[in-house]
Structure 1
């Protein structure tokens, strides 16, 4: 049985990714059915598509972060390999359980002759970095809960926390893990900024909210969705948290439409990343054949 599993590791990982694609299609269909498309003019749809494409391309940062993560675990791989493995396995996060992306990455990594223990360690460190990074960036929204903090103090405090966080990582772990954490922080921040840009594209008023508060609140909602057991990609959790945090600043109709479009943007961006990963895998395979 063990030899059979080892022999078909690549197929197992690909199957998990395929299941993720199927769930992805279902989610996209569900969200699109609840959106009033006639409320959005064509020029805003064009900007939305551009924002989604940018988000999908920037998902490459996750694969690069994982590459440095593996290097911390004493495994060196090429960027093409990290993108191919990470991007293909990532769609499995839309499967119920919210763990199948890690199982798929483990299978695909082992199929690509990456040490199994190193893959497990990289998964552990990735979860640690995701949680710590999300918690630190969530402090941007502290002024929503405690108005006596000024916007400047919230931003400065966040920058100080980031500096301390990266310094401690470099000192107690390695420069490679600190690099992975920095890239992870950058992508998480970009995710929050993408939601803010979506509000700007739709021209929806945000009341007394500041831009950094919107970004921080989005990251907090993402973090809660991440750590909620059984919630694939935080589906449902993130949306409920955002509706709660913004209920007094953004009208229900505007907020619901933005939240739904935000989910469509991230899901579509993950699919774009998946396509990029497939292309990288094809390039890698072609190079292997040519060098044979």
Structure 2
């Protein structure tokens, strides 16, 4: 019988339950509407149809999802005739409008992880920065697209030509996970592996610019002989399961511990997709701008206003 790979979020607390419409995973002893700490485990399993049906009946399993392909959220092409905004106070317009110039925090002691298209190690903006890279696409290191290099430069690149381009030029260590390749991109399984790699590597902040590749998934099923309506229905179900899986993982971890006002999962476990309050855990900061996509409630798009910078600094201490 044919088997498929599934992501499984298993709740080890037999008294715990998960409802995607509720704000938390409820454990034994939960009071006041808040979820108690819940012990959970993320696993990948190869299941045939019968195994899948049996596992869905397991009360210890919160969510099961078949991995879904993801793709880069690429920026829109600008008008080539448009003039580049003039630098302000020795920095690009973007650094100026975020308020980064007025912040006392520049990233000292913070490790940033970027899960994107890779990085151009030889770019002068990354001189003096320790770059730890890992490829999750099987294409090898490097950045054939340029998007990952651009993101890295925006976050922690060093000044070039006397102009500051980055919001956090004090960062001296970065984890670069290549999850988007020229011919192959990751699925939600590899994204989870990449996030866990970043957590294990001591990342305080994890940046992603990805979303579900729904059209690509429909195309995959139709290329395998499915009628378009059936392929679309199956892709929608897969999308739903991945959203519920990400929601459950984020909510479970975000209620497990607190540190200086930053919710986080227990050490060594995956929870949300924003910043980590300590190496080995990821937390979910709702104040950050998020858009619909992978994870819960969505993709991480860093925002560098003063409130976010202060919260990032508190988490990194």
Q: Normalization by structure 1: what TM-score?
A: 0.27
More strand by share: 2
Q: Normalization by structure 2: what TM-score?
A: 0.25
Relative contact order, CA 8 A, sep 6+: which one is greater?
1
More helix by share: 1
